[in-house]
Amino acid sequence: MSKIVNVIRMKCPRCHRGMLFTKQNPYSLNDGLKMPDNCPVCGQDFKIEPGFYIGALWTSFPIVIFLMTLLSVFFLVFVKMQLEWFFVTITVILFSLQPIIIRLGRAIWINIFVDFDQDAENK
């Protein structure tokens, strides 16, 4: 459970205190996805190996599928939106959420490989 909370808060998977991303705002144009090399609190390596976050595609893809399912049910079943407008709307929504989805995918990905360590700060 704490892993899920930690993913949403986008904190270091090891100490749960250091921030995973340099900027708090995911829509910060040039550095919205920038991450420090190491956790500023416990020193955990955030770039575990070259191309580590390519694997995060596997964790952001299910988020997109989940969102598409929710949006499809909402717009097609409840709003009864026309199909042409539905495709425009869903494209705009998913495109504008992209920075958040990528961040979540990366946060989930690193949380899969690094576990919480209570004494992380003291090492």
Token pair of 86 as six digits = 């539905």
Angle made by CA atoms 39, 63, 43, in degrees to the nearest 5? 5
Q: What secondary structure does DSSP assign to 30-63, as a single string?
A: TTTT---SB-TTT--BSS-STTGGGGGHHHHHHH
Instruction: Determine the Cα–Cα distance for residues 91 and 96; give it in Å rounded to an integer.
Output: 8
7, 10, 35, 39: residue in contact with Zn ion (rule CB under 5 A): 39
Q: How far is the CB of 52 from Zn ion (least distance, A)?
A: 16
Q: How far is the CB of 99 from Zn ion (least distance, A)?
A: 23
Cα–Cα nearest to 15, from 35, 40, 33: 40
Site string for Zn ion, 1-30 (x = CB under 5 A): -----------x-xx--x------------
Count of residues of this chain found to bind Zn ion when the rule CB under 5 A is applied: 8
41 forms part of the interface with Zn ion (CB under 5 A): yes
7 vs 15 by CB, closer to Zn ion: 15
Q: Give the footprint of Zn ion on this chain (CB under 5 A).
A: 12, 14-15, 18, 39, 41-42, 44
